[in-house]
Amino acid sequence: MNRSFEDVAVGEELPALSVPVTRTLIVATAIASRDYQDVHHDPSLAVERGSKDVFMNILTTNGLVDRYVTGWAGPAAVVKAIRIRLGAPNHPGDTMVLTGTVAAKHAEDGRVEIAVRGVNALGPHVTGTVVVQLNGRSEGSGA
């Protein structure tokens, strides 16, 4: 389903998305993003470098907030910006819950800003904004 620009209202909340942070997810997404830093796959080296375990890489955090917002906005949405700040690491065994709120709409170019937040047991892992461009009701195809 594609959301049109008119369909969304400032203040609207996106349904929460719960992401179980498994060891396999951390490793598989690090490799999918071609990030071979040992802290993302080797537990003993991660501990040696001062971390309690392996942790999710940033490219994956970008990928997950991208998936979260476009999954809500629909296939016609075009991602114009992903601006994130990182906090507590995502370690295996944790769960990150993504939530989002429509923060602003720009009628001149159809852009919608969604404030996103991903929280795990340690606190906020990610806070930021994803900007998507949505079609108007009259345009757009498919849906």
Asked if residue 102 lies in contact with residue 136, where contact means CB atoms within 8 angstroms, the answer is: no
C-alpha to C-alpha distance for 54 and 28, rounded to whole angstroms:
12
* Closest CB 17 distance from another protein, rounded Å: 10
Asked if residue 68 lies in contact with residue 115, where contact means CB atoms within 8 angstroms, the answer is: no
Residue 124 near another protein by CB under 8 A:
no
Nearer to another protein, 11 or 18 (CB): 18
Q: Coil, helix or strand for 132? A: strand
* Closest CB 8 distance from another protein, rounded Å: 17
C-alpha to C-alpha distance for 92 and 112, rounded to whole angstroms:
33
Q: Which of residues 45-104 bind another protein (CB under 8 A)?
A: 50, 58-60, 62-67, 70-71, 75-76, 78-86
Where along the sequence are the contacts to another protein (CB under 8 A)? 2, 25, 28-29, 31-37, 50, 58-60, 62-67, 70-71, 75-76, 78-86, 135, 139-142
